Amino acid sequence: MQVRRRRPMRLADRDTGSAAKAAALRDFRRFPERCVRVGTAEWRYRALGTAARVLLAIPGGELVNDLGFEFALAISDTHRVIYPAYPRVTSIEELADGLCAILDAERIEQAAILGASFGGSVAQVSVRRHPDRISALILSNTSVPLRHLTPAKRLLELSFRAMPWSVTTGLLRKVLVKTVDPAGDARDFWSEYLDELLSSRLTKADVVSNLHIQYDYYRRFRFTPHDLDEWPGRILIAESDTDVLGPSLRQALRETYPGAEVRTYHNGGHATMFLRFDEYLAMVREFLDSATLPDSSGQEHISSRRCGARWPR
């Protein structure tokens, strides 16, 4: 399927209303989903752009591969974007290995990875499990797994497991709308988007499975500032002073990656990509342009890459 090359978006061109977002989502969805099977899981993803440098943009707890459609469209003018959805699996390692399998399927030797919220957890496991496949790491509005938060993660999982799906969808709707559009600038668009998401694309089993993975991640993983001493890539931390992740969690992330570049946004909430779109896009482009990112063509090296390699914890 051929998708026409779009004119690069100038900041003054951007319309934040419902009609503009609906048109952008239609534009994004013209890129067909591709599939790769890893074990019993079917991974679906979209590939945008033709640039040599690759950005693996992974979802957060929404699990799907189009919530960040505007960002993916905008940055695909300068970078090839691989945007997967998460299948239902049983561990965060399976998610990391699935991302590696997508890179294999696309014959991509290395990619920068951007993970926001839960996606940041997956990104941190991925760079430790497959360091030779990740060239740069962007951690946005996320945290490291801290032992004292494990009981809260378990309680959250059990609570959602016990709730009727109708109650769960109501809660998810409120959280997502408050996260991506607190001012209500595109209320009609997001209402329709969430109707579709929560009625036909996500199930209770998907949500509970992901919450269990989050609990298990906090229970089993511990990161240190020395984990990536031998990894040559660069790290960017994007945080907000109004994130639901409070100061102590943000500090723990910074202390785990003391060499990272840190950008702190005022009033960026938990979804800085949405609330501070223009600045966020410029930041990511600047970081990726300044990082040393290999060409994506390394086909001859793919057979030697170690999807599923163990990271000693």
Q: What is the CA radius of gyration of the chain?
A: 18
Q: Does residue 298 lie within any of the structural domains?
A: no
**Largest Cα span, the chain:** 51
Q: Does residue 10 lie within any of the structural domains?
A: no
Q: Does residue 204 lie within any of the structural domains?
A: yes
Is the distance from CB of 81 to CB of 47 less than 8 angstroms?
yes
What is the percent of the chain with per-residue pLDDT over 90, rounded to a whole number? 87
CA nearest 142: which of 61, 230, 73?
61
Is the distance from CB of 130 to CB of 307 less than 8 angstroms?
yes
Where residue 294 falls among pLDDT bands split at 50, 70, 90? very low
CA nearest 85: which of 32, 46, 44, 25?
44
- Does pLDDT of 143 surpass 80? yes
CA nearest 256: which of 221, 225, 222, 233?
225
Q: Does residue 4 lie within any of the structural domains?
A: no
pLDDT of the residue at 308: 46
DSSP summary character for residue 304? G
Average pLDDT over residues 163-181: 95
Count of the separate structural domains present in the chain:
1
- Under DSSP, is residue 250 helix (H, G, I), strand (E, B) or coil? helix
Q: Does residue 128 lie within any of the structural domains?
A: yes
Q: Does residue 130 lie within any of the structural domains?
A: yes
CA nearest 92: which of 125, 132, 133?
125
Beta strands in the chain (DSSP E): 34-38, 41-48, 54-58, 80-84, 111-116, 134-140, 234-240, 261-265
- Lowest-confidence pick of 56-70, 166-180, 295-309: 295-309
Determine the Cα–Cα distance for residues 279 and 128; give it in Å rounded to an integer. 29
Instruction: Assign residue 163 the CATH number of its domain.
Output: 3.40.50.1820
Is the distance from CB of 111 to CB of 133 less than 8 angstroms?
yes
Q: Does residue 87 lie within any of the structural domains?
A: yes
Q: pTM to 2 decimals?
A: 0.89
Sheet holding 80-84, edge to edge: 34-38, 41-48, 80-84, 54-58, 111-116, 134-140, 234-240, 261-265
CA nearest 207: which of 84, 64, 98, 97?
64
pLDDT tens readout for residues 192-239: 999 999 999 999 999 999 999 999 999 999 999 999 999 999 999 999
DSSP summary character for residue 200? I
* Higher-confidence position of 54 and 304: 54
- Does pLDDT of 158 surpass 60? yes
Domain that holds residue 110: 17-293
Q: Does residue 116 lie within any of the structural domains?
A: yes
